[in-house]
Structure formats: structure tokens, C-alpha cells
Structure 1
Amino acid sequence: MKISFGRYIATFFMAMQIALFFTIFSAPAQTNTLDIAIVGPMSGDLSPQGRQMEKGAQAAAAKINSRGGVAGNQIRIFTFDDGGTPAGAEAAAREIVKQGIRFVVGHYNSGSSIAAAPFYAKHNTLMVSPGSTNPMLTEFKLWNVARTSSRDDAQGSFAGNYIAKHFPGRRIALVSDGTPYAQGLILKARAALKASGQPAKGLFVVKPQRPRYDDTVAKLRAAKIDLVFFAGLANEYGLLLRGCKEAGLNIQFVSGDGTLVNYLPTIAGSAVEGSLVAFSLNDADNPSAKDAVASLKAVGVNEFEYTLKSYAALETIAGGIDQAKSQTPRLVATAIRSGQPIKTVLGDLSFTSAGDRREPDIMMYVWRDNTIVPAP
């Protein structure tokens, strides 16, 4: 059947009008959104820290959204599990980029962040870590990295100065488990002690995953050491604490936060009592966090070590977008790392050109009755 051109045009426009009607009255309303990924160890031994990250970021997003969002955009949170491993982080990063998400709160582990950061940089994605403390993360000088935690080497300098001030005249030894984390702390602690006029009397390295460290205990005894700064992880530290007590040595121990796990007393026994550990500030006591802490407690959240740092990481991204007046990741990164303060749950935070937090984030704690409390 032959159809005239005029009739064809009339039929076409009628169809378009019907389609437009159903588009207007049937399609859901579209809301401008800002997608942010939360990525960390949501499974495995470190899952409690990962879930803290998730809860903190979700709380920050809810608060910002209640105030109108970021430049009128409502934040949407997407959670990814990296299992706390570099391989898992690389897999999660690929999925995040595949989904078109360009802003990330994560990762938790330094190894995970270091593995994922170059991939994010290559694919125009900005990351703000709430827990990765290895100095190398920002020393690679990637354009896309910032962190709301402090660096490991800040712990070493802090611990060295603290020891010099509070324990003058002691015979000090530095003990490392040989990990990159430990080496960074040892270098800074050693320099701080030397600058204070109290250089360490010895440097000892323990080999990880041994059942006992009697040889190191014997060396500490022979050198008449009465204070040890330990840089490393909890298992080796706990065994060394226990071994020194069993040998009758009266040594004051100070460590970095790699030893800070809730099962340390199980490894060290009563020898953990009175030992000192350098760790982040108690963010829950920050006056700027008062309302956030109350809101989180109201929904059953009572752990804040990484909850509030993740809250602040998401606020840092939002603040960077506001300062840049753009959602272009490179422009947001430049704004964050400009040194201009950004209001967060941890107070005003500012960042170096490499992405390191400028404000101090460290204090000394002491083990009392199988938990840590601020040291006097």
C-alpha cells in the first residue's frame, strides 16, 4: 500500500507526542548524584576496620545530603571489598573504574593503597585514605592521593622525642622486625634520639614468625638495656615482651601502632601492662566530632578509630569539590592539596602538595588492664 509523504509525517509526529506524554508522566524523576566508592577490608581479619570505614563514610554522606548535598548533588555510596591485600585492592580498583566512579575513600592497608593508587591515577580517579600510613604512598608523587591519617615516620619522630623527654638517662635499644613499616619508624626514632643527645645504644632485628626470641633477650641483657623502642608487628612484639619478663628483665617498652591489636595481651600475657604505644589521637574526643559521635552512638556505633577518619575523608572530597567548583578529579585533588583548610569532623584539615595531612595526629598511650588509655 502506498503512503503519502504528508501522511507519513503526520503519523510520525503523533507517535512522538504519545512517546513524549509517557516520558513526562511515567518516567521516574532524575536526581543529580555524586558517586563515591568506599573500599577496604570488608572481609577477613581486618573487616572490623573496613566496616568502621563504611559506617563513617555513610554517616558523612547522610549528613552532607541532609544539607543539600555537594553543589546540589546527592552523594551515593558504593562499598567494595579489597580483602586487605594488594591483589584484592587492584581487583577492586578495576571494578570501581569500570563502574565510572571517580572518587574513592580508601584503602585501609598501606600495601593496598600503594597497589591501587597508580591505577586510579591512570584512570582519572581521586582517592583519600583514612588509614594508610606508609610514607611511600605520598612519596610516589601521584596527583590523586591524600590521607586523613598521619604517616608512619611521624610516629618514629614522636616516639624518639617522647622517650628523650620522659626517660632521660636510659640505655635505649631500637628493635625492628625488618619490615618496611618498621624501618621507617626506626630511622626517625634514631634521628630524634640522636638530636636530643640520647643516642640509642644498639639496633637489633628480630626475624618474624619465630616461636621465641631468647637470643634477642640475651642481647638486651648483655647491653644492659632498660628501654626498648620496638618497630614492627604484634606477634613478634608480644613474644619479646613475654620473653623479657620471663628472663627477669625490667625494661620499659615503647612501640609504634603496628603492635596495636586487641589480642596483644593474649600473646604477651601480663608483660603488656605498662608498655607504651604511639597511636592516633582519640578522634572521639575532638570537640568538632561531638555531634557526629552522638549520632553514631545513637545507631549503635561505638568504635571510632577509623570511623571518624573515613567520615573526614569523605568530607575532604566534598570540601575539595566545593573549593574547586568542579567535580573534575584533578581539579579537586589540586584544591585539596593547596593547603587551604577543609572543615571536617576532625576540625579544619589541610594537606601538603603531596597529599599528607598537616595537622598532628599522634599521642602516647599506655596498656592498663588489657586496654590502652592515654599516657600521663
Structure 2
Amino acid sequence: MKKTVVLALTLTAVLSFSNLAKADLLIGVAGPVTGPNAAFGAQLQKGAQFAVDAINAAGGVNGEMIVLTVGDDASDPKQGISVANKFAADGVKFVVGHFNAGVSIPASDVYAENGIVQITPAATKPEFTERGLWNVFRTCGRDDQQSTVAGKYLVETFKDAKIAIAHDKTPGGQGLADETRKVINAGGLKEAMYEGVNFGEKDFSALIGKMKEAGVSVVYWGGMHTEAGLLIRQMGDQGLKAKLVSGDGIVSNELSAIAGDAVVGTLNTFGPDPRLDPANKQVVDTFNAAGFNPEAYTLYSYAAVQVIAAAATVAGSNDPITVAKAMHEKGPFKSVLGDLAFDEKGDPKLPGYIMYEWVKTADGAYIYKPLGS
């Protein structure tokens, strides 16, 4: 009887030790799973999940399997803080997200206080990495980078045009519009009008009326694809022949579903498309085989998980503070975005933004491709 008890206790101890040795590494992915920006939330979620699957198939990170948990912030700052607090309570160590700058920034304070590393694939507002926090990184570029590309293009291409600058009054949308405005003003071009509309607006008749009265032929939009698609469609319907130029917020195939044929000719800035890199063919094929197009921020999210895993491996530790130090000091790390290293702020050392144009293909599909390609 005693031998049976001893064996049972021994077996329990061995199993307990085994479970500890094979603990899970909890990573959160946060973004707008619901709401008007849900297409981007899906990109972040799918990108992170496919990367996790690939890393776990190769043995995980320092002997631990990654478990991914999803938080829906609905692009709302208050809900984003709730997601951040839940992640902290659940023991999440790393977060991929959020999508919107207006959510990412307040959430980052929660993560910093709770020892959690945050790496956003999509929040481009400079302030995200300008506050001296130890825990913030991004795999995307910044508004002051893409606004320079957009602003110079506007000055060089439309110097004789009347340009309207419009935004959705969000930190990300207005921030990008304001940064671009600074560049075109510095280049000697003064906008014909500057207007803000409410996020979620569906009727742009008043704005379009003002633009027609002002003789506007180019519209720079700081905001998301949902409102941009409606604006493009309504400009066409109301007889305003103006070209829309925007930033990374409209990089979704949903834009064409909303705007219809009027989307052709629309321009936007974005980083080099990692889908076009031959080195990523196998990864892209995996997404396509699963019925998901890894457009826009999908592979930026994938890269965020890759960097976390690579930095942890180099550091020999899954402790967030140790991994953050490695991310700053031990790069570059291999990723679908190329060799990725970070500066002291947490911004990536990546190629700059380029201009894309929306076109209609021979088979009737609408796609965005590098301008002039």
C-alpha cells in the first residue's frame, strides 16, 4: 500500500514538473475584430495566428508553445484599455496590436505598467514610440515618413491643382492629414480647403458641395477605407471629378467593394508589399490555400510574432523585459519583412513608403499596385 502511495506521489511530481517544463507562452493579438475596421482586425489576427502555427510546428520558443489569445477593441480607446487590462490579468506576456493609433497609445501605458511588450503592425502615429516607454515597438512605418512621400508627390504632381485636405478627426487620420499638410505647405503648395468629418460618417454631400464650389480636383484623405470608399463613390455620383490620395488606412480590398469602379486611379502610400517578395512565396501560398489574402498588415502582424520569437531565442529567455532588450540590441531578425532591426525608440529600420495606385485588372478585379509598375 505504501509503495502504491509513493509511486502515485512520484508520478504526480513527474507530471507536474513535465507540465512546468512545457508551459505555454501567452501572446495576445488585439485589434478591431468587430466594427467598421474589422477587415484590418482580421489581418492582424490571421497574420499572428499563421506565424504562431509555423513557430509551434518548429518547436516553439525556448521550449514553450505559443498560445494566442484575441482581444477585440472595436477601434475604441476605452475598449482597448479593457482589452489591455484583461490581457494583463490573464498573464499575457507579449501583444501584437493594436491597429489604431488612438487605441494603441493608451493601451501601451497599461502594458508598460504590467511588464508586457507591445508590438503594433499598424499604428503609424509618431507619438506611439516618442514617449520613452521601454515596451513599445512597431513593424510598420510612421506618419511623418509616409506624409513626406505623399506630400512631395502632391507638390511635384499637382502643383497647379486645388487640393482639399480632409480627415476623420481620429488621432491617426487627422495626424496623417496634418503631417501631409505640413509637407505640402513647406513645398510652397497651399491647400484650397481643410475639413474634418466625423469618424463613421456616411453622407459626404456637404463636404463634396464645398469642394465643388472651391474647384477642388485632388483630395487628400486622412482616415480609413470605409469612409474613403463612400467619399470616392459619392464624389463620382455627384459629378466631382477629383482624384483621392490617402495613406495606409485605405489599404483593404473592401475599399473597392464600397467605392465600385470609381476606385480606379485612387492613390495611397504604403510600405513595400511583402507578398511580392519571392522569399515569402511559401508563406503567401499557405495563406492563399486557406482562402485568406495576406494583404496590407497581415504579414506585418506575422513579422511581429516572428520578431518576438527570434528575440526571445537570441536572449535565451521568454521574459518580456529581457526580450525587449534583445529587440533593441540584438537585431536584425529574419522576418517576412526582411531583416528587421529596431532603433532605441522601437521604430523599425525598414525601407520607406512608396505610392500605390488602384487599378482594374483584365478579369475585372480591383487591386492596388506600385505606381508605374
Q: 1:371 and 2:373 equivalent?
A: no
| Structure-2 residue corresponding to 1:106 | 97
| Structure-2 residue corresponding to 1:150 | 141
Aligned counterparts of 1:315 and 1:262: Cα–Cα separation in 2: 25
81-90 vs 111-120, which deviates more?
A: 81-90
| Structure-2 residue corresponding to 1:207 | 197
Matched residue SS, 2:329: coil
Give me the CA root mean square deviation: 3.2
Aligned counterparts of 2:234 and 2:47: Cα–Cα separation in 1: 39
Paired residues in the alignment total 363
Residues 217 and 243 of structure 1 are in contact (CA less than 8 Å); yes or no, is this contact kept in structure 2?
Answer: no
| Structure-2 residue corresponding to 1:3 | none
What is the CA-CA distance between 1:347 and the residue it aligns to? 0.8
| Structure-2 residue corresponding to 1:6 | none
Q: 1:117 and 2:108 equivalent?
A: yes
Q: How does 1:181-200 map onto structure 2 within 5 Å?
A: 181-195=172-186, 197-200=187-190
In structure 2, relative to structure 1, the CA distance for the partners of 1:169 and 1:210 (3 Å cut) is: same
Q: How does 1:13-24 map onto structure 2 within 5 Å?
A: 17-23=6-12
| Structure-2 residue corresponding to 1:60 | 51
> Which has more radius of gyration?
1
In structure 2, relative to structure 1, the CA distance for the partners of 1:102 and 1:115 (3 Å cut) is: same
Amino acid at match of 2:263: V
User: TM-score, normalising length from structure 2?
Assistant: 0.83
Q: How does 1:1-376 map onto structure 2 within 5 Å?
A: 17-23=6-12, 29-30=18-19, 31-33=21-23, 34-195=25-186, 197-208=187-198, 209=201, 211-214=203-206, 217-218=209-210, 221-222=213-214, 224-234=215-225, 237-238=228-229, 240-241=231-232, 244-245=235-236, 249-260=240-251, 262=253, 264=255, 268=259, 270-338=261-329, 340-360=331-351, 362-369=353-360, 371-374=366-369, 375-376=371-372
Structure 1 runs of 4+ aligned residues shifted over 6 Å read 24-28
**Structure 1 unaligned spans of 5+:** 1-10
Aligned counterparts of 1:21 and 1:81: Cα–Cα separation in 2: 43
Aligned counterparts of 1:164 and 1:58: Cα–Cα separation in 2: 41
CA displacement 1:103-127 (0-9 Å, x = unmatched): 1222223233223211111111111
Amino acid at match of 1:296: F
What is the CA-CA distance between 1:156 and the residue it aligns to? 1.5
295-304 vs 129-138, which deviates more?
A: 295-304
Fraction of identical pairs, as percent: 36
User: TM-score, normalising length from structure 1?
Assistant: 0.82
Amino acid at match of 1:211: D
Aligned counterparts of 2:30 and 2:260: Cα–Cα separation in 1: 35
Amino acid at match of 2:60: G
